[in-house]
Amino acid sequence: MYLQPSEQLESIGGGHRIIVSMDHTFNTDTVLLASYAMPKRGEQCAEFGTGCGMISLLWCSRSAPKAVYALEIQSQACSQAERSAALNGFTQMHVLEYDLRRLIQEPAKELPIPINLDLIACNPPYKPLGTGIQNPQKSKAASRHEIGCTLEQIAAAAARLLRWGGRFTCCLRPERMSEAFQIFSAAGLEPKKMRLVQHRLEKAPSLFLLETRRGGKPGLLVEPVLLLENSVGACSAEMRNIYGDYGEEQK
């Protein structure tokens, strides 16, 4: 195990570590989605656009999935995620350098991931291509704008891999809520559970977490708002619980 000059190790709690770099790292949204989409023991899961692998690594660290397939199109990010999995001994985590758009096109027998997964998570690009200011750094641009794939393609790929009743989870900005609901429903992924995220009670939501089910019946549960900070601007009790010992080890 070795680090490139631009890389460093960061704790993720539980005695486990992740390799991060300036190009491929993670943020609070990543930790929130990992917690919201935490797999059950023995489930087979996938993460689309794993980046440095944080969500898949947290799943392996905090739960006991049978298998986690971490897809990523960028070679350097794949390298980081693969080395992090090896560093922590997570043999159930399989990092695949793969364009998820191929999941829609390839025959089932040629796919690198089995059909009928229990759970898929994705922290997709927040902005459609052509909106907002695009980051000149390629890796950052790909994580924020739909350069590599669209939300429709993500939904189609997830619907193809999930078993009937399987869960697809994601996080997006509130301004894309109406669009996202339409896209997922059209793909056969019925929105079933949603939670808004706010920094403080007086602030507008900055994010929403969504769980859909393949073939689910209409009916959406809107959960209480998740507050990132308390009234004095410190980390809220629920956020401290989500961070767990990862948060403690960052102090």
pLDDT at 19 over 50: yes
Whose tokens are 């930790």? That residue is: 31
Task: Return the SS3 of 229.
Answer: strand
Token code pair at residue 6: 């631009």
Q: What's the pLDDT score for residue 137?
A: 52
* pLDDT greater than 90 at residue 197: yes
DSSP 3-state of 175:
helix
Q: What is the pLDDT of residue 245?
A: 81
Is the confidence at residue 173, as pLDDT, over 70? Answer: yes
- CB-neighbour burial class of residue 174 (10 A; exposed 0-12, middle 13-18, buried 19+): middle
Mean pLDDT of the chain: 91
- Is the alpha carbon torsion for 109, 155, 35, 85 positive or negative? positive
For residue 36, give the amino acid letter.
Answer: Y
Q: How many residues does the chain have?
A: 251
**Residue found under tokens 């994010």:** 207
Q: Taking residues 32-51, what's their average pLDDT?
A: 98
Q: How far apart are CA 174 and CA 216, in angstroms?
A: 22
CATH number of 7-249: 3.40.50.150
Give the residue from 126, 125, 146, 115 showing the smallest Cα distance to 214. 115
Alpha carbon separation from 219 to 189, 196, 216 (Å, rounded): 12, 17, 9
Q: What is the pLDDT of residue 148?
A: 67
* More reliable by pLDDT, 125 or 191: 191
Residues 6+ apart with CB under 8 A from 62: 13, 14, 38, 244
pLDDT of residue 247: 56
Q: Are 119 and 166 in contact (CB under 8 A)?
A: yes
Residue with tokens 């969500």: 55
Residue-wise pLDDT for 51-97, tens only, equals 999 999 999 999 999 999 999 999 999 999 999 999 999 999 999 99
Arithmetic mean of pLDDT, 162-167: 98
Output the pLDDT for position 143: 43
Residue 188 burial (CB count, 10 A): 18
Residue 62 token pair = 């905090």
Cβ neighbours of 239 (radius 10 Å): 20
Strands 221-222 and 189-198: parallel
SS3 per-residue string spanning 104-159:
HHCCHHHCCCCCCEEEEEECCCCECCCCCCCCCCHHHHHHHECCCCCHHHHHHHHH
pLDDT tens readout for residues 87-146: 999 999 999 999 999 999 999 999 999 999 999 999 998 665 444 444 355 544 444 434
Most confidently predicted of 106-110, 206-210, 231-235? 206-210
